A and B are shown apart, each in its own frame.
Chain A
Amino acid sequence: MLTAAKNQVRVCLLSIKYNIMREMVNKVTFLTNVCFMVLNDASILVQWFILFRLREDVGGYTLREIMLLWGLTAASFGLSRILFARVFSLSELIISGKLDSFLVQPKNVLLSVMTSSTNISAVGDLLYGVVLACACRPGVGGFLLFLLFTVTGTVVFTAFALLLGSLSFWLVRMDILQSQMTMGMISFGTYPDGIFEGISRFLLYFIIPVGMAVWLPLHVIVNFDVRTFFALIGYACLLSGAAVAVFYRGLRRYASGNLMEARL
């Protein structure tokens, strides 16, 4: 059991390493991609400088808190796409029947699929996120919390994308919805939660889990609270559990072949 787990981890790490090596084959392209992503993210700061000229807070956030939020979203989304980029295009994989080659391997299907590609501009996101967080001088404790929540944020983003992607086992056209919903989630995650109220706020915490991925964690970094802290970690576990369950449910349907119409 233990050796099996060890071997599984070995394969996953090797897979991620090879993915990154592939992207690094062309160093110039790699560096341009990363740099442009950093510039891309940084250019949005213009928007915030303008908005903070108009009012001293936006949605109850100071400029420093906005920068921390941006850092957290960028780092989480970045890490998620460095390690598990394939999850974000899972729908395509399912629809075109490309899970077959993972199914003939004697390893965990989900983990093999998840780690089978990377998105290199995401390195820029991660880099920018961490640098931006450091620029906010959160202190050692704050920075450690930031790193921890980057990990839970990664888990929530990935699990949510996995959940949406897995719906492709049942529904058609999920590929477009998956990418739109995940991008939508990231867009919400770069604005303060204070501007949303009522139903939209509820939806953004419990249906599209932006609140659980970045907003609440940010509040905990700014104002530490033990109960929220553990609640967040619990939520990340719960959501990933649900996502994995749905994926395997769907995989049974895949194996029954009823998605095969396009391939006959």
Chain B
Amino acid sequence: MRKYAVIYQSVLLENLQYAANVAIGFFTYFVFIFIFIKLWGYMYRTPEELIAGYTKEQMIWYVMMTEMLYFGSNANVVAGEVAGDIRGGNIAYRINRPYHYTLYILTKYTGEWSVRLPMYAAVAAVIGAVMVGPLPRFRLITLPVMALCVILGITINAVFKLCISLFSFWIEDTAPFQWLYNKLILVVGIMFPVEIFPKALQPLLKLTPIYTVCYGPAKLIVDFSPAKCLEIVAAQVVYLAVGCGLMVLIYRKGVRKLYVNGG
């Protein structure tokens, strides 16, 4: 385990130096949030109105949180980089090192978001406090649980994207599949909470990764309840276990293919 801690530490230090570059991305984040503030400002006719069970503040905070998760984690490490390693043949040098490649990638990814995510969280908090207003049922005491849920969500997302990238062992270009996955998360998961979709679709959406990757953490932050929390964290643990199992399986098969056929 110690070697992963060292990898994590060095990636973290490297990324801390680029913190200023991360800050430049705030502009795009702010533009999105600003649009959503205005959009929901128009959609809610009265301040007391509820849409799909959400107050206006909750609705905006929801988007702020999902966008924070999206911007706060740099998915390129688990997507483009892995696919590039495999297709470009770099993987041959990586698998012979005394670490597990997938864990190495996940550690690197974690080192990256450890810098980005807190920065985006801080920006979100400022925008929220200044332009949106406080969340009614937010308690500081539940913050650790929320953080756990966020970290689980971000990691599950990475594991799924990593699984897709690992298909590069067999197919030329995994980018279209990454794209489809991203679109699903972006269009269905980030902009609206699940409750806003037609009733018939909702059970289906709860089965997709959206539920554990973005809806779950964001929902807990805007509308915390112990029961909901238990349900979401339990679902996350199941998803993480299944995702990791899949990841290891695909990776083993892929490496075996590499040994048989050579890059």
Which residues from chain A sit less than 8 Å from chain B, CB to CB?
32, 36, 39-40, 43-44, 46-47, 50-51, 54-55, 58-59, 173, 176-177, 180-181, 183-184, 187-188, 191, 194-196, 200
Contacts and interface: CB of A to CB of B under 8 A. Distances in A.
21 contacts: A40-B183, A46-B187, A46-B188, A47-B187, A50-B192, A50-B196, A50-B197, A58-B42, A58-B43, A180-B24, A180-B28, A187-B31, A187-B35, A188-B31, A191-B38, A194-B42, A195-B35, A195-B38, A195-B41, A196-B38, A200-B38
Nearest to A57: B42
B99 interface: no
Nearest to A44: B187
A187 B176 CA distance: 23
A213 B34 CA distance: 20
Contacts, number: 62
Contacts of B192: 47, 50
Contacts of A194: 42
B5 interface: no
Give the top 10 A-B pairs by smallest Cβ distance, nearest first. A184-B31, A195-B42, A195-B38, A180-B27, A176-B24, A43-B187, A46-B187, A195-B39, A43-B183, A196-B38
Contacts of A188: 31, 35
Interface in B134-193: 176, 179, 183, 187-188, 191-192
Nearest to B45: A55
Interface of B: 21, 24-25, 27-28, 31-32, 34-35, 38-39, 41-43, 45, 51, 176, 179, 183, 187-188, 191-192, 196-197
B110 to A, nearest CB: 25
Given A36-B179, A50-B196, A173-B24, A191 B187 contact: no
A184 B28 contact: yes
Nearest to A45: B187
Nearest to B31: A184
B56 to A, nearest CB: 12
Contacts of B21: 176
B7 to A, nearest CB: 28
B67 to A, nearest CB: 12
Contacts of B39: 51, 58-59, 191, 195
Contacts of A196: 38
